[in-house]
Amino acid sequence: MIVDCHGHFNTAADFERNAKKYLKDTLGKMVIEGATQLWKSWEEQTTVEGWLASLDRYGVDKILLQTAPFGSSDAVAEFVKKAPDRFVGLANIDFMEPEESNSVAEMERCVKELGLKGIGELYPKIGPWNPSDEKCFPLYEKAQELDIPIMFHFGNEVPATFGNEGWCDPYMLDTALRQFPGVKFIICHMGTTYVHHVLMLMQSRPNLYAEISSADGPVIPRPPLSSLSAKEVLGAFLWSGLAKRLLWATDVQLPYDVDGRKDRLQGTIKDNPVVKLLEEWNISEEDKANILGENAKRVFKL
């Protein structure tokens, strides 16, 4: 089974409504206006038929669709229902003001009533909020009870207008990792500019996973910021015996055939730059299968 662990689905109306809760200054309002127009364009290009043809062409069995940072759990659940054998939905839960938003009950509703398989993608820098704050603990307790994973975005490639750059370090998650060993935490894009912190955390926290959509991308530190190539960055995780906790993904906003990142999405999955890096490392077929889908199948109970 091949699983893309990071795709997006949103509607412009949901984005605009929810973003206004968090981006209230002048610059934030300008961001909302521009981003809403972009989401309208993406929404027009997002069809079930287009997605299915795209998945078939690329050779992907299932894709996880996230609504974050300002989407609607109900909207993604409705879209997933149109092709439940190919789409997997994740919930958008408010961790910044969990009591005010009744987030624990909302999480349970999203899983038990909407059939969503996890939470994501959370952005601590938008707010900002501390993922190890005790106000989040009831949410982690509920996630542990429901046995669902939680996906986080760290790193600073997202424009500063979306939040405080001081809240980009995945080390902020460490208290939660230790307090809730039964929760599977997933860091998107290998933590981007904090990839070294993600590697160190994964070596000591067995409940931490990494989604590797940025292994081939410019957000992974390159010379002169890093002496390691993208291949060496991925190799460091493989050398550390973490193949069972790496999840392949693309971070697409649209079906592969219309997404702008043609360098990643041309041809079939065999042409994907990250998959090519795995081939270059000549890892075992078992490790390759785990990274490309079996890990996701286990973590998200697909």
Q: What is the pLDDT of residues 239-268, one digit of tens each?
A: 999 999 999 999 888 888 877 666 678 889
Q: What is the pLDDT of residue 153?
A: 92
- Classify residue 172 as exposed, middle or buried by CB count within 10 Å of its CB (0-12, 13-18, 19+): buried
Alpha-carbon separation of residue 148 from 10, 22, 120, 140, 238 (angstroms)? 21, 26, 11, 10, 25
pTM: 0.92
Over 90: is that where the pLDDT of 44 sits? no
Q: What is the pLDDT of residue 261?
A: 65
**Segment 95-125, tens digit of pLDDT:** 989 999 999 999 999 999 999 999 999 989 8
Q: What is the pLDDT of residue 37?
A: 72
Q: What is the pLDDT of residue 28?
A: 66
DSSP annotation of 95: -
CATH number at residue 12: 3.20.20.140
Sign of CA dihedral 281, 285, 286, 292: positive
- Neighbouring C-beta atoms of residue 81, cutoff 10 Å: 13
For 267, the 3-state DSSP assignment is coil
Count of alpha carbons within 13 angstroms of residue 290, beta-carbon side: 14
Mean pLDDT of 65-90: 92
According to the per-residue pLDDT averaged within each range, which of 80-89, 221-230, 252-261 is highest?
80-89
Mean pLDDT of 58-84: 92
The whole domain housing 267 covers 3-299
Q: How many domains does the chain fold into?
A: 1
Q: What is the pLDDT of residue 177?
A: 98
Peptide bond preceding 98 in cis form (omega within 30 of 0): no
Residue-averaged pLDDT of the chain: 87
**Segment 131-167, tens digit of pLDDT:** 999 999 999 999 999 999 999 998 865 555 556 677 8
Provide, rounded to the nearest whole percent, the portion of the chain with pLDDT above 70.
85
Over 80: is that where the pLDDT of 202 sits? yes
Query: CA 5 to CA 8: how far, in whole Å?
Result: 10
